[in-house]
Amino acid sequence: MSKTDELVLLWKRKDGVRCVALKRAPTRPHDTKLWELRVVRLSRIIKREAFEGFRAVMRAAQIWRADFLVD
């Protein structure tokens, strides 16, 4: 991660599956998808998607939490 990247933990299960949001610095002048939402376990990415804003990330994280709620 570069100095301008941010990592936010949104939720975590008892077995270590967690949902994190990563804010990336734009790499190109017209980059709009700056947030990446990931569900990870250890170092394995289970699901990921890019979003333009943090509100969209929060909405998706709530929906994904229901998908991964069953332990």
Domain spans in the chain, listed from the N-terminal domain onward = 6-67
Q: What is the pLDDT of residues 4-47, one digit of tens each?
A: 678 999 999 999 999 999 998 777 777 777 899 999 999 999 99
The closest alpha carbon to 54, from 15, 10, 11, belongs to 10
Q: From CA 64, how far away is CA 39, in angstroms rounded?
A: 8
H runs (alpha helix) in the chain: 54-67
- Name which of 9-18, 46-55, 61-70 the model is least confident about: 61-70
pLDDT, residue 36, reads 94
Q: From CA 19, how far away is CA 51, in angstroms rounded?
A: 14
**Contact 45/21 with Cβ under 8 angstroms?**
no
Cα angle for residues 41, 43, 37 (degrees, 5° grid): 70
